[in-house]
Structure 1
């Protein structure tokens, strides 16, 4: 053998690949080096160049390989993932100093095998030889050379895709994925499973024509990547390839940023709570969850029209929603199910891989799509959309499996037919209570709903013939409740919203009230079904118009949420009414109920999500004044406005100074709130006159003549300024600024002018527009101020 040459391994490289590179550096075949060891299962000739193979070495063989490449074994152990498995697999062999080796498939244990970047490997002594490395699907980018590494053994000669024009965007997505993976691992999720689910969701969109009709980013990426890769020529442009093959090859790199964008929300606890039905309002259920989740994804991906694409209620995203709901039910003590985990992707939703897709394309005259197990046929559309024949599902090694499935469906259909004759519908609960004659019809129907996309047209038609709503796009328990309500209506007549649902059974009244509160969010088909019960849109309006009825909690939450969104808080006084709803009284009742319970009620937790200070342990008027002081110091948040009778800035400044003086008497929570405002308060505001010279000339003529009773006379303009200050700030006379003189004198003059009508004449006088800012508060204060000020 020649003198020792240094060959450095690539990070994540297979030991089999590294052995080939070391042999090539000496001008030898890998078999020449492998012949130095004894093999527990020799490599077959056909596997000698298998790219996804792996070789395990014992300690003696590892020392020999380290000596040939000139790299310490400790470094090799860090770079080669399978390095440490050899000693365990070959334990007990050897002893005479000769190395032992074992051949095995590496992809099954250490992950997918891809072509390494040849430019990076050349600097490590690889020359122009091929390098095979272990890489998960999110680590295929070579940022240094702008290449996206491809899987080995896919049946095509390409080793990479040129993504030099997308390196910045892909690198940003890769860094974002690192944060997503850490967040998922912290929540107990395996990053590989999270990525697989997000990839299945995005690849479903890739295969849908409706997506491409609105998508504006993927088409440009697709064209750029294909053009850059074909520019290399030679093997980079395989003979006979068309647009279908290229779309399949570059799919993962084109959609990688969107995969990361989908994976991010899925691992967030807030999104999980929303899906589990414990979101902000506490009323998120069934199909609303799908719509809200699609809205979240659309907002994150800047594709708000995703909500419309997810309306069909089938796919990997919907399956994940159901898995989260099942997990939540198990968490609260229900019986465990038989699912395969939260992040498991059903076979029907897994995207077609490159190798399998290319083989299908090679055997068909058309093209292949990636929409799970089904494709769409049609003409070429805009935005890079191209369609082709349906990708068939795997039906087993023979036709017996397909025949057996047909027999099982026929058996279940017969049981379903009997049930419909007895009950009239197929809205069965997914429990063991529906077992009859040894057949669990409830579970069978639930499985058919989960696999609705895989049913044949004939099978789906047979189920619809038995029950039109056997697989509704809303929760099955809603449909089951509707059938129960219809049975009551058939016997006693339709419901009447004008009677405030009086005389109905408790279960029906509660269910109908819930439907009325959520009527605006129901689907059109659900509203039609409610109309068959008598609860039409007109009856819903009559129900809302019923005088003095008790409003449902959902109505109060909706009004409270709208008020908080408009004004920023729920510290409202008891007389407050919003659109005919007594919000103040309703909140006061909720406060009394929670305080008497001694713990947060369910309604209280929902109100906490709207405003954490809705139920303070101190007076609500104090909390309302604190909000006013905060907004005067920091400005109104975007989208909020001042509420009626909000305190003026001068009053809140005086109030804040008073709270600082009373700090030892305040509760700890009050002290904390006051301390939040002190750094913003700054120095106390200096009093500024409000009455302009033009207004004083008009008002001075309305004042009564001066008396000549002796003594020092006060300036009447100063006294009027004092009265206006009290009216605008709603403060007391004892808090009158020193610049306005004696509070006792001003209070006495206020009583005299009020009795003789002077202040009323001033309020009715025509003044310049700036002076109406103090004229209107003065008029309002005269009505509410006590006699004598």
Structure 2
């Protein structure tokens, strides 16, 4: 693909987002670009549009992407946070000039992924494609266009909410956070921990009726932001007030979060909060005192009363942790001072927007009224625990019904199969797998009782394929490889062949499950012993690579077989497919990397004779062996004479190959009349016994290398051992013998090689 457009990355953009924008600029999909690279791991089809994923590229793929977008790779490295991690993660791969990629999803070390500002991205090209950037919670504001950026996967169609009326105030808070972060680092505290606790404190106020009874600032902000969001989307989503309120919460409270974080990072205030005896009542009193200080800073002197009226917010355990730290005690359960306990963590939009009367949220068969049921928080989180238990029991009942009907819990997470009776069982199970470590022993046992492989240590798509194969085996009997898997449905045959190919890489549990289908090690051996079986492309390429390394070419006869694999017939079929396609196929490109003349436009027998003549003239390279039935030296000499005689009938590329062979044929260059003069110029060498080499033969070897430019390892056998000749060459070059020969007056036939020797000597002296 020749680059004709320029696409510039947004600062902090994910590489996966940038690949989408580059593809969109050319009217392509991201899969069209990633198809040019090899993948180090599996990317499911549903992940191709995943906003929370990332793709790592090696150096070759990075250079290609830089060429397509017409932006230097150095600029991309400064704009894309994950750019430098690609070559490290894919070290050791490549070598054939083709790029590699690795797909990443889940929690990423560069931060959470949010939607980028579309207006900022539109100025940088990309065809109006949505942009995903790494954006921590304290950097969600686009000051230029007055947009508060939202995280993808939140169950809503919005990428941002308009906060133009609050842009100046939010911008000041965003700039002030940089100073707070520096103060926290100087105090030995991670800024993200300070921000998380401050956000938990402010969101706890957000849920208190006592706070809203006196608050005068958040109400106008909430109305302005919510009105802009509703005006942009309309009533199509069917949300109620609580859902819109949850969506815009972080934008409304951001200035207060920064102010609270500034107070929490102040070492003097922490010192005051950490004084006093430990105990729940004293911790509550310390939290109220700290809330009073926050009230003065925030202009809300009644915050201490809100803290006193509540059942204990995030400030209470934080004050207790400060007291324990001051006394040198071990942190509770090994958690640090800034740990936010589960009942105090804010309800995120991705979760809260889906909790509607205990069922799937808007856009997923929600209720008609669209009113959200907020998470209940009472006591020390006991109400929330009861609510979570209630939701788990409800999901477990739906899972039990699914098992009774289908016999497993490996359903795909898609709207077509995951949502039944108004409940998104696929999403519920996916969340249970992601948070399996948080399940109680009883809950994990209940799920395992329904399906022992509900959360396997291998990909779920593999488990779904196994259940489908198991149903087939129960109806038709175990599979066996005696007939090369013939007679099976195409989908089952492809799946079983893939398992056989990668059998050694499977886990022990997967191998046991395959044995239940009848596919044990004995059957796999029978499959490999089948003479006419179809080999996977990767296995056939491995055999072709080994043959090319052993013989130097990929033009064996049709009957050639290597370790039971019909390599000759397989290469014939590959040539036919490439010629029918009219262009180099993907397989053909990989074979060309092994042998550039594996599919020549002339007969294969001619190319095979050319390789034999080349090896007879220059000698077999290290590691290369003669193939069975290889032509002799006399036969190749006659063949080369015939090709030289019929040059007009040969193609231009064939003539070039014939010239390459003729250049390897050695002819004496020193005339008899010039030898007496040359022999007097040669420096005498000490004789230490043994057979003395002919000095004329050594000089002929040096002239052959100087005139042909070939490496010493390809010295013709008629000139003797190349190592001995190379040692003599270095002596004569060092003592000036070759320089004297180059400047001595010689007869006319010898002036041609004398000039070539002079140029070669000057080049060797300059390089040394």
Which category describes the TM-score, using the shorter chain as reference length?
Answer: 0.3 to 0.5
TM-score by length of 2: 0.47
TM-score by length of 1: 0.46
